[in-house]
């Protein structure tokens, strides 16, 4: 059985946890201004990636990422002065994601593993420096990142990998409990040993 110890959350200069953190979960929100041609290109890209799941297969395999979403925004709801009514002069890319681990490691994974994907998603944004080398890309993300006003995670002390394994373990345990009702002690002992073997990756 492997035990994962929760990593301590970073502390700000005021002695409080950043609003982007809740236990092991971290939120990231990035706004970037899109060039005019991106207004046409990005909706087509989103359409294609939604209908061909294998194009985002590598992203889905990164178990430390809860989710990642890119959206094109042309205007914001009007909330009164001093905000001006109407659409943006240029559309904006709205990127949001939740993940486990360090911020630097998260951006490194995007840069090295999803190099072509990052270029496709952010290539039409002003100032995008390409994913590699990582230092300019990290500065770009920092310059365009917005801290959350409030962030909540249902299971702050668990990583997404731990939650997935717990759900897998629960399915196996439910089946064992159901079958155990009609087993004698010897049969249950054998079934329990099989359960422990089969469930090793989830323990």
Domains of the chain, residue spans? 21-144, 160-202
| Neighbouring-strand partners of residue 30 | 95, 145
pLDDT of 40 higher than 80:
yes
Give the model's pLDDT for residue 9. Answer: 46
pLDDT digits (tens, 9 = 90+) for 153-178: 888 888 878 888 888 888 888 989 99
- The separation between the first and the last C-alpha atoms of the chain, rounded to the nearest angstrom, is 5
Give the model's pLDDT for residue 34. Answer: 94
The CA dihedral of 190, 194, 196, 202, to the nearest 10 degrees, is -160
- Select from 188, 9, 151, 128 the least CA-distant residue to 66: 151
pLDDT of 84 higher than 90:
no
Pairwise pLDDT comparison (114 vs 140), residue with the higher score? 140
Give the model's pLDDT for residue 17. Answer: 56
DSSP 178: H
- Select from 89, 94, 100 the least CA-distant residue to 6: 100
Give the model's pLDDT for residue 78. Answer: 81
Instruction: Collect all residues with Cβ–Cβ distance below 8 Å to 159 and sequence separation of at least 6.
Output: 4, 24, 64, 100
CA atoms within 13 A on the CB side of 111: 20
pLDDT digits (tens, 9 = 90+) for 91-125: 899 999 998 888 898 899 888 888 998 999 999 99
């Amino acid at each position: 059985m492997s035990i994962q110890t929760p990593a301590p959350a970073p502390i700000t200069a005021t002695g409080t946890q950043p609003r982007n953190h809740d236990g092991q979960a971290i939120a990231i929100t990035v706004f970037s201004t899109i060039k005019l041609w991106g207004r046409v290109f990005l909706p087509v890209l989103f359409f294609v990636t939604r209908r061909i799941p294998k194009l985002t297969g590598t992203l889905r395999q990164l178990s430390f990422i809860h989710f990642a979403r890119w959206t094109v925004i042309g205007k914001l709801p009007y909330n009164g002065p001093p905000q001006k009514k109407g659409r943006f002069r240029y559309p904006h890319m709205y990127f949001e994601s939740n993940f486990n681990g360090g911020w630097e490691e998260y951006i490194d994974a995007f840069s090295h593993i999803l190099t072509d994907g990052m270029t496709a998603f952010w290539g039409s944004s002003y100032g995008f420096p390409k994913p590699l080398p990582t230092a300019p890309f990290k500065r770009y993300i920092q310059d365009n990142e917005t801290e959350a006003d409030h962030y909540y995670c249902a299971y702050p002390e668990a990583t997404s990998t731990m939650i997935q394994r717990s759900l897998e373990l629960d399915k196996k345990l439910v089946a064992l409990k159901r079958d155990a009702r009609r087993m004698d002690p010897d049969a249950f002992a054998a079934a329990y040993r099989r359960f422990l073997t089969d469930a090793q990756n989830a323990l």
